[in-house]
Amino acid sequence: MSQHLAIEYDVIGVGFGPSNLALAIALQECAVKSRLRCSSLFIEKQPHFAWHGGMLLPGSDMQISFLKDLVSLRDPTSPFTFVNYLHKRGRLLDFINCRTFYPSRVEFNDYLRWVAGQFRSVVAYGETIIAVEPVTAGQSVTSLRVHSRTLAGGETMRLARNLVVAVGGAAYVPPIFEKIADDSRLLHSSRYLDAIEAVGLEARAARVAVIGGGQSATEVTVDLHNRFPQANIDLIFRGHALKPSDSSPFVNEIFNPDYTDFMFAQPDERREAIVRNFRNTNYAVVDADLLDQLYRLLYQQRVKGSAGIKLHPRSEITNVGAGPDGIDVATVDRFDGGTHRGTYDAVILATGYDRTTPHAFLEPIRRYLEGSTLDRNYRLVTSPAFRPQIHLQGYSEMSHGLSDTLLSVLATRSQEIAESLVLTISRRELIA
């Protein structure tokens, strides 16, 4: 543990992905407008900024407009817009000539890195939060003691008057795969680019299974085919067919910022019904252009009489095992009862993410939390004696809407949280 006197910050952010990057901008803006000093630090476990680095696949494009960047919906004159990024990179006219609202994922990641580079002074990279403890004065909790561990194993303690947690989801591994979770031949799609070359699929007849029926599963399947043309790829999913995402304009209005107010005002049962009704905008669905690309690949296979990619719809996985010859996956057709068994050199889980809260590092203050309920400003509801604010970003889909885990509300959500935090800071200053 570092022995020097702990520094106290008005805000410590846990994680420095797009959500807390947007917050860093909003805090800076709010502090300037209110003429308040707001000291902040963001703690990120990665050694440098990266956004879904394992899935920055060649040719993959964004599925939302570049105008839904970190700031444009709040302030299109901000220096942190995607348009200004293009201008600073000398590519604005070239991008215009592309005639698209959807930049490549690689380029959008570069935009995020460009913005993050301007906030290097307020980020501690390569540190993982291990515990958040209460600091008390009498019967009240006045601040938080935040413990982190560096990549080298050292520990640091800092004090925070407020906390904003935005660490994203944990890669979800279905229970049936948990017994072989440590097998190097089993990958989650979040690590795809980082690990796929090390698996050893260069063999002429390598066998690969991709589990899932959504965007990531389809992207991985197409990339595997392009990367290892001789591989035999089984795409295994539960649905009847791969389905397109609904990105039609009227449906897309559910991602508008004002829809958050509507969603939050509904009783729980109506919220659940709304999420179910619009799941086809984000879950187990695929961009229409990518579906067309995959279908054309399958058609060319039929023309050539080959079978590099094979789809296995309606498939329920019944057993998984690992042996020297590969990973065995047994499935049953959910409708006709037919069975299939395959042995694979690699299995890739495109099974999404788990966003369970509250996080384990909040355990020391759990007794002050009134469940995992968030208020309209994404703040955990706490006991009256607990003064710090704890905000969560990306964990309130069921209360704030489907946009909560996406990029669509970054600009407005960060402003709402920043304004809430700055108001608290100003009140403290008045009391002091």
C-beta separation of 365 from 134 below 8 A = yes
**CA-CA-CA-CA dihedral for 269, 173, 198, 330, to nearest 10:** -110
Phi/psi region, residue 212 (left: phi>0; alpha: psi -120 to 50; beta: rest), is left
Condensed to tens digits (0 to 9), the pLDDT of residues 9-25 reads 999 999 999 999 999 99
Give the predicted TM-score (pTM) of the model. Answer: 0.94
Flag whether pLDDT at 211 surpasses 90.
yes
Task: Evaluate if residue 1 carries a pLDDT over 70.
Answer: no
H/E element holding 364? none
Contact 313, 237 (CB under 8 A): yes
CB–CB of 9/41 below 8 Å? Answer: yes
More confident residue, 64 or 372: 64
CATH fold, domain 177-244+283-350, is FAD/NAD(P)-binding domain (3.50.50)
Strand partners, 135: 143
Counts for the chain of helices (H) and strands (E), in that order? 12, 21
- Outline where 35-76 has alpha helix (H): none
Q: pLDDT grade, residue 275 (50/70/90)?
A: very high
Fold match between domain 8-169+355-431 and domain 177-244+283-350 = yes
CATH architecture of the domain 8-169+355-431 equals 3-Layer(bba) Sandwich (3.50)
User: Is residue 7 predicted with pLDDT exceeding 70?
Assistant: yes
Taking residues 278-291, what's their average pLDDT? 93
- pLDDT at position 426 is 81
pLDDT of residue 432: 53
Q: Which two tokens stand for residue 376?
A: 């309209």
- Look at residue 3 in the predicted model and tell me its pLDDT: 44
pLDDT, position 68: 97
Task: Kindly list the domain boundaries of the chain, sorted by start residue.
Answer: 8-169+355-431, 177-244+283-350
What mean pLDDT do residues 99-104 have? 96
What are the pLDDT digits (tens) for 27-61? Answer: 999 989 988 889 999 999 999 999 999 999 998 99
Give CA separation, 421 vs 28, 30, 38, 114, 164, in Å.
12, 9, 9, 26, 10
Q: Residue 2 pLDDT > 60, yes or no?
A: no
pLDDT-derived band at 358 (thresholds 50, 70, 90) equals low
Residues 6+ apart with CB under 8 A from 378: 391, 392, 393, 396, 400, 413, 416, 417
- Phi, psi at residue 135, to the nearest 5°? -110, 120
Residues in CB range of 5: below 8 A, 6 or more apart = none
Burial of 167 from C-beta contacts in 10 A (0-12 / 13-18 / 19+): buried
